[in-house]
Structure 1
Amino acid sequence: MIEQNSLYRDLDGYDENAWHLMLFDQQALIGYARLVPPERPGDVVKLGRLVVAKNYRKQGVAQQMMKTLIQFSSKDFPNSDITLSAQIHLTEFYSGLGFKVRGESYDDGGIEHVDMFKTA
């Protein structure tokens, strides 16, 4: 939030029921992402909050985390598409993981985003 100068409360109520993927090096948290399971069978899985510590970027950490989340989703929620909100400059990254853009871009906390999806 500080790095992206996006200081606003983002309390969406999903954290309590979400799966949280945390990656550590020694005892330092270096990566985090969230998977919100579908509310009903066949509803979408929502991925988000993907963040990697600055010193660990461009080393494949985010890609491995996303692959883990996709694999988990496919195994536990095989009939659910996966959605996420991507910062515009990361659409190529997510496209490389099989996601497709859906809709127009929009401002989210001062940063342009676009919705993306991956079919089950």
Structure 2
Amino acid sequence: MEFLAKSFEELTTIELYDILQLRSEVFVVEQKCIYQDIDGKDQKALHILGIKEGALVAYTRLFKPNYYFEEASIGRVLVVASERKYGYGHDLIKFSIQTVHNTFSTKEIKIGAQTYLKKFYESHGFKQVGEEYIEDGIPHIYMIR
């Protein structure tokens, strides 16, 4: 697995297409969540692409502090279902955290995590803050690292 960090302007049209297709596959189809994925924030994000054998199989988008939250943020975290058994989610989060540190010069990161992934994020140093809330019909919690 190779990880790349790219600004919106650096993405090729094929990469952008693959990102949007993958986000739709995971968040809309797999999780049966009807929501507006194309939200006007991609242009401000740093995009992390996980490439395996030439195919996009993992993805996150990162935001600098004071854009999405007061802290830096990681969102739209996903790994293709067929690739989850290899632990790529852990590699993806580690790379994303390191990229936040290196690019945005901060260690504080806030996420809105799907509640069922609480232990996964705790294993990477995140701690729950506040109560559970519903976003797009799915239980979420805020977590800070």
TM-score by length of 1: 0.88
Worse overlay, 88-97 or 8-17: 8-17
CA distance in structure 1 between the partners assigned to 2:143 and 2:98 by the alignment: 17
The AA in structure 2 aligned to 1:51 is L
Provide the alpha-carbon RMSD of the alignment.
1.6
The AA in structure 2 aligned to 1:19 is L
Q: State the partner residue of 2:44.
A: 17
Contact conserved, 2:100 with 2:106, CA < 8 A, in 1? no
Q: Structure 1 residue 36 and structure 2 residue 47: aligned?
A: no
Q: State the partner residue of 1:96.
A: 123
Unaligned runs of 5+ in 1: none
Q: State the partner residue of 1:76.
A: 103
Alignment identity in percent?
A: 35
Q: State the partner residue of 1:51.
A: 78
* Residue 11 of structure 1: how far off its partner (Å): 4.2
* Residue 78 of structure 1: how far off its partner (Å): 3.1
The AA in structure 1 aligned to 2:71 is V
The AA in structure 1 aligned to 2:126 is F
* Residue 81 of structure 1: how far off its partner (Å): 1.2
* Residue 37 of structure 1: how far off its partner (Å): 1.2
* Residue 77 of structure 1: how far off its partner (Å): 2.7
Q: State the partner residue of 1:60.
A: 87
CA distance in structure 2 between the partners assigned to 1:97 and 1:80 by the alignment: 13
Unaligned runs of 5+ in 2: 1-27
Secondary structure in 1 matching 2:99:
helix
Q: State the partner residue of 1:109.
A: 136
Aligned residues: 116
TM-score by length of 2: 0.74
CA distance in structure 2 between the partners assigned to 1:104 and 1:12 by the alignment: 25
Secondary structure in 2 matching 1:8:
coil
CA distance in structure 2 between the partners assigned to 1:46 and 1:25 by the alignment: 25
* Residue 44 of structure 1: how far off its partner (Å): 1.1
Worse overlay, 58-67 or 3-12: 3-12
* Residue 38 of structure 1: how far off its partner (Å): 1.9
The AA in structure 1 aligned to 2:58 is G
Worse overlay, 8-17 or 108-117: 8-17
The AA in structure 2 aligned to 1:44 is E
CA distance in structure 2 between the partners assigned to 1:48 and 1:74 by the alignment: 15
The AA in structure 1 aligned to 2:81 is K
CA distance in structure 2 between the partners assigned to 1:14 and 1:85 by the alignment: 15
